Amino acid sequence: MISKKMTKALNGQLNKEYHSAYIYLGLSAWASEKGYNGCASWFMVQYQEEVAHGMKLFNYLDEQGASIELKDIKAFNFAGTTLLEAFEEAFAHEQKMTGWLNELSDLAMKEKDHATYNMLQWYVMEQVEEEALFSDIIDKMKLIGDNGNGLYNLDKELGQRTFVDPTTQA
């Protein structure tokens, strides 16, 4: 059984995962509109990953017999104009997510809630992968600059990404 405080905090994170999903869905729509079909598909895969992150938390709360609270999902509007800005905004968002997950881990540790702490470590490690993924793409984009050919090829490369449910991976 998890505490009321932990339940509230995990419900907050559940909402943040769906907000993340919303961000990637929005970036996918933006990229598609701009003709970056590979990136649109890449962001759509990321959207699916975020939904899976949300479901993992949902299932954990359910398993623990905790109340699940589905709050409003904050709107997302991308105000940038370039692919680099889109990935930089996503990267900054992922860094915030890492911070929130670390805070949640701190709370679980403080409450001596070992089960929740263990469950959260999966997210903490997932964030390491996500940050590395975004940072790598940003580096490539900076190298390419506004070289149309380079961007065309990178867009094509990113379009190869396929969805593999991360919550089913060890």
Q: Interface with ligand OFO by CB under 6 A: which residues?
A: 17, 20, 50, 53, 94, 97, 130
Q: Tell me which DSSP letter residue 145 carries.
A: T
The closest of 21, 114, 135, 35 to 82, measured between CA atoms, is 35
How far apart are the C-alpha atoms of 155 and 158, rounded to whole Å? 5
Minimum CB separation from ligand OFO for residue 123, in Å?
7
24 vs 117, beta carbon nearer ligand OFO: 24
88 vs 130, beta carbon nearer ligand OFO: 130
Minimum CB separation from ligand OFO for residue 116, in Å?
17
The answer to whether 18 and 47 are in contact (CB under 8 A) is: no
Minimum CB separation from ligand OFO for residue 52, in Å?
9
How far apart are the C-alpha atoms of 25 and 45, rounded to whole Å? 9
Q: Which residue is nearest to ligand OFO (CB)?
A: 20
93 vs 113, beta carbon nearer ligand OFO: 93
How far apart are the C-alpha atoms of 154 and 147, rounded to whole Å? 11
